[in-house]
Structure 1
Amino acid sequence: MERLLEAERKYALRRGQELPALTAVGRPGPIEEFVLEATYYDAPDYRLTRAWRVIRRRVGGNDEGWHLKLPGQRPDERIELHEPVEQRRLPGSFRAQVEDVLDGAPVVPVAVLRTRRREQQLLGPGDTVLATTCVDQVRATVGEQEQDWWEAEVELVDGDVAVLDRVEAVLAAAGIHRAATGSKIARALDEAMVRALSPDPSARAAVLAYLAEQVGVLQDREAAVREDAPDAVHRSRVATRRLRSALRTYAGIFGPGTTKALRKELRWHAEELGAPRDAEVLRERLQASLAVLAPADREVVGARIEASLAAAHARVHRHLVEGMRTDRYERLQLDLAQLVAAPRLDVMAHERAAVVLPPMFDAAVDRVRRLAAHAAARPGDLTRWHEVRKAAKTARYGAELLVPVLGRGAEAARARWEAVTEALGEMQDAVVSQRVIGELSWHAVADGLPRLPFDDLRHEQDRLLRESLARGREALAVALGG
């Protein structure tokens, strides 16, 4: 990552206006012309721009690439970091530099600026490049809004701040004064930043705020997931599930069929995340179950569990990291950023959230009710209860999204559905644990170890399964009755 210190000033120009001759400051060099296109990135509430942090990916000109601008020590100074233009996604090093401002928020494309630039060097003794002057014709696109303006930049190269002062004096004499904003993106986002501070009761605002929070988790935890840091995989998996659930439950606010492919890709990534997370959960669960064994058996069986599941976890985590290096994963992350930045919406998205969203949530609850009746008709079929659990998770996350919209009523519903999913989740963990214990038992007996301790562990998981299923059915009755 390249790190530079730049010092520049910006000036407002009228349409078609050029800079006066700066021969009193230095000798003008040849003029170069460029066409630049820069995509700017920020959180949905523009917190980076408000904090004078600028991230862009620019194509064209002499410095193509990713640029991150941070405040310098002096008013005219900015620290600028560069990464190669070939990267399609925001460089992780950039996110790390502004994480204190982001605080977990996602970074998404917020504006595109197209600039026609006339650039000229200002030369001093011995052809030293004192500064570079630019006259820019700018067209900014923010959502469906466009605006254009002219401006000038004067950036130091080998000169000192006195050069900027002398240039400013010449410009002032010609009636050219400092721009009202210190960056192009601040000017482009001026109206959008005002709108972002206004309350928005629409379904669009409620759903996108929830989706943005989950995309922020995936971006924020990405490096930690690759490193297998504590809780990183778990939090990312939950965020992926929340995204899928919200897109399914509230699909009506999006254009027909626009989220189906994205939900499919999120399912793929959730499964990739699920494998190492399941190995973590099983390892912890089975180690805790060792308490039912005699001390001598506990040591032998515990060693078997630790060796087998630690190896399994390492293997599936490597597979996860390999998947995160693929074009498929990169495209998923780009599509998620685009979902937050510029979703394709149905007209009902602009209606009040309190009116539009509850019926969609009710439909998710009705789906749980149908699956619950199906499971109750054959209560010993644990596959059916697993399907109930998955549908209940969708209802849980659907209620969670509604909490900022409906308040305490939605929070109570979320808590009821959480009780269902936690209990039925323990049931499913017990099912998987019994299968894993059976596999461990088979290999242990083949190696000459006794089967009885493993049978004791399976009996314990069976007891926990029956208890958790009973709790889940009780919680389900409460949730469906509430």
Structure 2
Amino acid sequence: MTQSKRETERKYEPPSPGTGGLPDLTGAGPVASVTAAGPEELDAVYYDTADLRLAGTSATLRRRTGGPDAGWHLKLPLTGDSREEVRAPLSDDVPRVLRELVVSRTRGAELRPVVRVRSARTVRHLRDADGRVLAELSLDEVRADSLPAGGGHAEWSELEVELADGVHAGLLDTVERRLRKKGIVRADSPSKLVRALRETGAPVERERPRPSAGEVVPGSPGAHVLAYLREQTGILVALDPAARRDLPDGVHRMRVTCRRLRSCLRSYRSVLDRRVTDPVRAELQWLAGELGAERDQEVLSERLAAGVAELPDHLVLGPVAARLRVWDVSRGAAGRTRTRQALASSRYLRLLEALDGLVRRPPLRAGAAGKPARTMARAVLKEYDRLAGRMDHALEQPAGPARDTALHQARKAAKKVRYAAEVARPALGKPVARLGRRAKAVQKLLGEHQDAVVTQDALRGLAVAAHGAGESAFTWGLLHGQERARARARQEELPSVWRAASDPALRAALEH
């Protein structure tokens, strides 16, 4: 059993000795009063791998006693000053659910105690005029002890301001302005763990990177491709906990990240050796496929439910809602099972290891050190030419299943252009960004067409099942006709959207 909350806080260097302890923040924006909340004695043991993989991704895992929230705390980075804190009840060993939530970061490596941090905390509550707690101001006297043999200990003080739930983050800026006037500045460590590791000299078993096929030259195609791969790999790792907990959009975003990584490795074969990257691409395709079963069902179910909800009551004949619900539960459960099994597999861990190895020891080719304007533009234009060929083929097909299939293939090609342009944008600027936007417009239109095609297939299946059970199939047929009309409308829009994307000026801007 876990609980999750969003934590937004900032850390500061403590007030100078002799200045009276905690600063008075009465009158700082909406703060009308400051009340004492009593001292706390906190004792936390932080866990990580031997090479500090959690700390390396700005995550922390601790077992803490003392204070009102004793237990296991996993903190995952969000944006700005915020983190998500996942809590589990106090136990001797790391709870299984928390082990699973960090597996994308640890990649299965053993978690062990790395540092113990004890804090004597003085607490004040910042309240508004109605007495509501806006934030907690605390002063910690900290002692940190490295737990592996050979480490030392350190002591320091720090000031912390943490917002209460639901309070706008702008209060932190208001409080910080008041603190600066009192000579109090931000701490240079984002967390107690980071400072404890630094100041105790905790020994770390770090892997020595093997020499790559060449040095990565700043500003080169290799540098741009590796920066993109590093960013997307980090996103994949960070999305893992959300996908495991079935949080909104977690699975979808993780699947899209797999596609971005695959596309980059495909488009920039002149930069990275495909003998190394092709097996990684194959595994990314596998993972995206496993995640896709759940996501596709989720999208389809939402579309069908919306279609039924929009119909007048007199056009909904038979147990339509009940049949749709049973259909969704049976198919959705299967998709969710595939996601869980994939993320729990050793195959997934091997993929994460391969991605980590790829960015740490890139198999660079000669093109990695070339001129970005030439190497990267060539890669983008190659994908663009594939898209043009598939669009020409699709538009030549008569209306029907053959054209639907060809348009779906063109959609995939449009994604590859878009993602190749994303990689190249830091190097090539506005021309490639413009091409990427046009390719995205094509992809979006073709995606709407494909959704309508897939939904027609599902509606036909529901109609057949309803008829076989002696129910009216009228409503399913009506919805089928609506989806068919939507698909036809998207096809009618396609020539103008493609004309904009195939503007010769876009290609000329990249060629020169």
TM-score bucket of the superposed structures, by smaller chain: 0.5 to 0.7
How far, CA to CA, are the matches of 2:322 and 2:462 in structure 1? 11
Work out the CA distance in 2 between the residues paired with 1:292 and 1:98. 40
Contact 1:392 1:421 in 2 (8 A): yes
Deviations 1:146-202 (A, max 9, x none): xxxxxxx56369xx99xxxxxxxxxxxxxxxxxx9874889x99xxxxxxxx99311
Which aligned pairs between 1:142-181 and structure 2 lie closer than 5 A? 155=152
The 3 A distance-change label for structure 1 pair 451 and 99 is closer
* CA–CA distance in structure 2, aligned partners of residues 213 and 67 of structure 1: 17
| Offset from partner CA, 1:348-372 (integer Å, 9 cap, x none) | 2122323320101100011111112
Retained in 2: the 8 A contact 1:202–1:349?
Answer: yes
Confirm whether residue 471 of structure 1 aligns to residue 464 of structure 2. Answer: no
Give the match's secondary structure for 1:96. strand
Question: Is the contact made by 1:67 and 1:81 (CA closer than 8 Å) also made in structure 2?
Answer: no
* 2:335 is equivalent to residue 316 of structure 1: yes
Residue in 2 that maps onto 1:57: 50
TM-score by length of 2: 0.59
Q: 2:440 aligns to what? A: 418
* CA displacement at 1:134 relative to structure 2: 11
Q: Distance in 2 between the 1:256 and 1:327 partners? A: 23
Partner of 1:460: 482
Shift of 1:291: 5.2
Question: Equivalents in 2 of 1:69, 1:271: separation in Å?
Answer: 29
Q: Residue 18 of structure 2 corresponds to which residue in structure 1? A: none
- 1:251-292 CA-to-partner distances (Å, cap 9, x unmatched) read 110124221111111111111111111111111211222256
Q: Which whole-Å CA distance do the structure 2 matches of 1:69 and 1:220 have between them?
A: 12
Partner letter of residue 50 of structure 2? R
Query: What does 1:31-430 correspond to in 2, within 5 Å?
Result: 56-57=49-50, 96=75, 155=152, 183=201, 200-290=218-308, 293-298=311-316, 300-380=319-399, 381=402, 382-430=404-452
Q: AA paired with 2:339?
A: L
Contact conserved, 2:424 with 2:432, CA < 8 A, in 1? yes
Equivalent of residue 458 in structure 2, options 413, 418, 436: 436
| Inter-partner Cα distance in structure 2 for 1:357 and 1:476 | 23
Counterpart position of 1:88 = none
Structure 2 Cα separation of the partners of residues 318 and 133 of structure 1: 39
The structure with the larger Rg is 1
Between the aligned residues of both structures, percent identity stands at: 30
Deviations 1:357-396 (A, max 9, x none): 0101100011111112222221422111111111111011
For the 8 Å contact 1:68–1:80, the answer to whether it is kept is no
* Residues 1:365 and 1:102: Cα distance change in structure 2 (over 3 Å): farther
CA shift at 1:241, angstroms?
Answer: 0.7
Structure 1 residues 69, 275: closer, same or farther in 2, change over 3 A? closer
2:151–2:203 contact (8 Å) kept in structure 1: no
The residue type paired with residue 238 of structure 1 is V
> Does the 8 Å CA contact 1:292/1:456 hold for their aligned counterparts?
no
CA gap 1:305/1:108 in 2 versus in 1, 3 angstroms: closer
Cα pair 2:415 2:440 within 8 Å, conserved: yes
Deviation at 1:96, TM superposition (A): 3.5
Contact map agreement 2:236 2:257 (CA 8 A) in 1: yes
Deviates more, 1:252-261 or 1:297-306: 297-306
Q: Distance in 2 between matches of 1:209 and 1:66?
A: 19
Tell me which amino acid in the other structure corresponds to 1:96. K
Q: Deviations over 1:266-319 (max 9, x none)?
A: 111111111111111111211222256331444832332233123312221111
Q: Answer whether contact 2:53 2:105 (CA < 8 A) is retained.
A: no
Amino acid of the structure 1 residue aligned with 2:298: E
SS in 1 for 2:275: coil
- Mapped contact 1:56–1:68 kept (Cα < 8 A): no
CA distance in 2, matches of 1:80, 1:318: 27
- One-letter identity of the residue aligned with 2:387: V
TM-superposition CA deviations, 1:393-413 (whole Å, max 9, x none): 101111122222222222211
Distance apart, 1:429 and its partner CA: 0.8
Describe the superposition over 1:321-340 as per-residue Cα deviations: whole angstroms up to 9, x where unpaired: 11211111111111111122
Question: SS in structure 1 opposite 2:276?
Answer: coil
Secondary structure of the 2:152 match is: strand
> CA separation in 1, counterparts of 2:315 and 2:287?
38
**CA separation of 1:457 and 1:202: change in aligned 2, threshold 3 A:** same
CA distance in 1: counterparts of 2:151 and 2:310, whole angstroms: 75
Residue 467 of structure 1: how far off its partner (Å): 1.1
Question: Residues 279 and 97 of structure 1: is their aligned pair in 2 closer, same or farther, counting only changes over 3 Å?
Answer: closer
Instruction: Report the residue type matching 2:346 in the other structure.
Output: D
**Does the aligned pair in 1 maintain the 2:273–2:365 contact within 8 Å?**
yes
Q: Are 1:480 and 2:502 matched, yes or no? A: yes
1:241 alignment partner, SS class:
helix
The code of the aligned residue for 2:300 comes to: L
Q: Distance in 2 between matches of 1:440 and 1:398?
A: 39
Q: Is the 8 A contact 2:264 2:419 kept in 1?
A: yes
Check the 8 A contact 2:47/2:62 in 1, yes or no: no
3-state SS of 1:251 partner:
coil
Unaligned runs of 5+ in 2: 1-45, 64-71, 84-101, 107-144, 157-197, 208-215, 507-512
Residue identity in the other structure for 1:399: A
Question: Contact between 1:70 and 1:80, CA under 8 Å: does it hold in 2?
Answer: no
